[in-house]
Amino acid sequence: MDFALNEEQRHWQMKARKFAEEEIRPISLARDAIEDPSETFTWDIIKKGSKLGFRTMAVPKEYGGHGTDYVSQALVMAELARGDSAISKTFSQCWKWSHLIAAVCSDEQKDRFLKPFIEDDTYVLGKGGTEPTAGSDNRLPPPDDPKAGHKLRAERHGDEWILNGEKTFIANGSIAKLFFLDVRTNPNVSVKEGSTLFMVTRDTPGFRHGKVFNKRGWRFYQNAELIFENARVPHANVVGEVNGGGKKPGAAGDTSGGDIFGDLELAANALGVCESACELAMQHARTHKQGGRPLVEQQLVLLKLNRMYMLTEALRSFVLRVAWEHDMKIHSANAGLAMNFSEEAIQTVTELGLEIFGAAGGVTSPEAEKLVRDSLIWTHLAGDNVQRMRVSQRLVRMAEAIERKARETIPELTAAE
Ligand SMILES: Cc1cc2nc3c(=O)[nH]c(=O)nc-3n(C[C@H](O)[C@H](O)[C@H](O)COP(=O)(O)OP(=O)(O)OC[C@H]3O[C@@H](n4cnc5c(N)ncnc54)[C@H](O)[C@@H]3O)c2cc1C
């Protein structure tokens, strides 16, 4: 097995490391400490990162992007997250949706949306699925209940659709120029049969963002409500088929874009946070003295460091393997499993890190405490029951497929029954 990075992967890794150290880290704590959640964000860091390619790296070269492979993307996410996990996510949130435009949109849509995305350093993307009464339902859509799942309604009037309803918790909600939206185009059937993916620009008449949420962690990241009051969206902004439902691009299980990015990005981002926690804890344990001796001479502290490094290295191996598998077009449930694992890793590692700081962690050394707050985001996004069920269902489907294949290639198996 060859674990070496190629020249291009190393180049992206080093560029991201330098940017994280010189530009992100110096602003991370100060941004996190701003009280008003809509003020924690700054365009300055996004513009600088965009000029280095961190916003557009997932777009294929033929459309003006950098066409990076998944290994490079995982390396960059982790490096940027070492500087600040939420700033890293603001960039990577653009990757899966810009990649999706390139993968599934019509040429006319690519022309209208990819061009400005590439050219404008402030063109950021978002995706709206969640609503006040539809969160988990959207991830594991109940098969045949019309009442379940998202309800943002669209009705067709000639060449336009009129949208009414709202989305909530939407990432980049107050800053994105373009959103992918899960919209109900037939409320009388299940979401699998009656929903459609739309692209909606910020300047759409009747659309505005509402409150920006005041989160404990990832404070730089702008999660907001999206409000639609007779919003008028051209039919030309429909992605794929009307009522494409469960088969719509970017839906769970679709390998053309959204799914792998979402899973891999959380795991890779967690890796950066874990690295940061290890680095901080090691530095503190080597330099802080108790009873006349540095903390690293205390066996219990060493055991904590051991667990932190062990989980971090296990996560690194998992993340890079998943990224490599997807570059090799080997699709499995591993990206989902890595995402689930990243929740356990990041929360254990950051909490052990905070323990090593003792009281200072929450008082005079806020870095360690910030990492714990950031890690709590993984509970909702990576490791709750629904995310684990979604991945487990995929494992079952794969086991069934393997069995079917075996029966096709070894007919005696079927004959013996
Ligand atoms: C930082 C952040 C960024 C986000 N960004 C976006 C975004 O960009 N776009 C977007 O659309 N959404 C976004 N979300 C929302 C996120 O997708 C939802 O929080 C998630 O889908 C869970 O929905 P919910 O919070 O409504 O919880 P609920 O669905 O109300 O679930 C509450 C609890 O019940 C459990 N539960 C619910 N149903 C089941 C079930 N059938 N079986 C077992 N357990 C169940 C869940 O596991 C959870 O523990 C974001 C959230 C956060 C925190």
Q: Which residues of 78-103 are buried (b: 16+ CB within 10 A; e: fewer)?
A: bbbbbbbbbbbbbbbbbbbbbbbbbb
* Ligand 1, pocket-test mutation among 386, 387, 390, most atoms within 8 A of CB: 386
* Ligand 1, pocket-test mutation among 40, 90, 136, most atoms within 8 A of CB: 136
Tokens of 279: 């680095």
The alpha carbon of 390 and the centre of ligand 1 are apart by a number of angstroms equal to 13
Residues in the chain: 417
Residue 172 CA, closest ligand 1 atom number? 8
Residue 387 CA, closest ligand 1 atom number? 47
Q: Can you tell me whether residue 115 is helix, strand or coil?
A: helix
Q: What is the rounded distance in angstroms from the CA atom of residue 66 to the CA atom of residue 81?
A: 20
Q: What is the rounded distance in angstroms from the CA atom of residue 281 to the CA atom of residue 279?
A: 6
The alpha carbon of 380 and the centre of ligand 1 are apart by a number of angstroms equal to 6
Residue 130 CA, closest ligand 1 atom number? 11
Per-residue pLDDT of the chain (417 residues; tens, 9 = 90+): 888 999 999 999 999 999 999 999 999 999 999 999 999 999 999 999 999 999 999 999 999 999 999 999 999 999 999 999 999 999 999 998 999 999 889 999 999 999 999 999 999 999 999 999 998 888 787 778 888 899 999 999 999 999 999 999 999 999 999 999 999 999 999 988 999 999 999 999 999 999 999 999 999 999 999 999 999 999 999 999 999 865 555 554 444 444 678 899 999 999 999 999 999 999 999 999 998 999 999 999 999 999 999 999 999 999 999 999 999 998 889 999 999 999 999 999 999 999 999 988 877 789 999 999 999 999 989 988 888 998 999 899 989 988 888 888 877 766 666
The alpha carbon of 203 and the centre of ligand 1 are apart by a number of angstroms equal to 28
Residue 129 CA, closest ligand 1 atom number? 11
The alpha carbon of 360 and the centre of ligand 1 are apart by a number of angstroms equal to 33
Closest CA to 174 of 228, 229, 129, 126: 126
SS3 breakdown of the chain: % helix, strand, coil, rounded to 5? 55, 15, 30
The alpha carbon of 155 and the centre of ligand 1 are apart by a number of angstroms equal to 27
Residue 384 CA, closest ligand 1 atom number? 47
Write the residue with the smallest CA distance to atom 30 of ligand 1. Answer: 135
**Rg of the chain on CA atoms, in Å:** 22
The alpha carbon of 361 and the centre of ligand 1 are apart by a number of angstroms equal to 29
For the chain, the distance separating the N- and C-terminal CA atoms, rounded to the nearest angstrom, is: 40
Q: What is the pLDDT of residues 362-406, one digit of tens each?
A: 777 899 999 999 999 999 899 888 889 989 998 999 899 888 888
The alpha carbon of 386 and the centre of ligand 1 are apart by a number of angstroms equal to 8
φ/ψ of residue 63, rounded to 5: -105, 10
Q: What is the rounded distance in angstroms from the CA atom of residue 400 to the CA atom of residue 398?
A: 5
* Ligand 1, pocket-test mutation among 88, 92, 169, most atoms within 8 A of CB: 169
Write the residue with the smallest CA distance to atom 38 of ligand 1. Answer: 136
Q: What is the pLDDT of residues 53-100, one digit of tens each?
A: 999 999 999 999 999 999 999 999 999 999 999 999 999 999 989 999
Residue 221 CA, closest ligand 1 atom number? 1
Closest CA to 360 of 278, 415, 274, 281: 281
The alpha carbon of 225 and the centre of ligand 1 are apart by a number of angstroms equal to 14
As for ligand 1, residues whose beta carbon falls within 6 Å of it are 126-130, 135-136, 139-140, 169-171, 218, 223, 377, 380-381, 384-386
* Tokens 């460091």, residue located: 305
Long-range contacts of 212-215 (CB under 8 A, 24+ apart): 212/37, 212/38, 212/173, 212/174, 213/37, 213/169, 214/37, 215/37, 215/377
Q: What is the identity of the amino acid at 211?
A: K
Q: In this structure, are strands 125-128 and 178-184 parallel, antiparallel, or unpaired? A: parallel
Q: What is the rounded distance in angstroms from the CA atom of residue 410 to the CA atom of residue 211?
A: 59
> Which domains are seen in the chain, by residue range?
7-122 (1.10.540.10), 126-244 (2.40.110.10), 258-404 (1.20.140.10)
The alpha carbon of 135 and the centre of ligand 1 are apart by a number of angstroms equal to 4
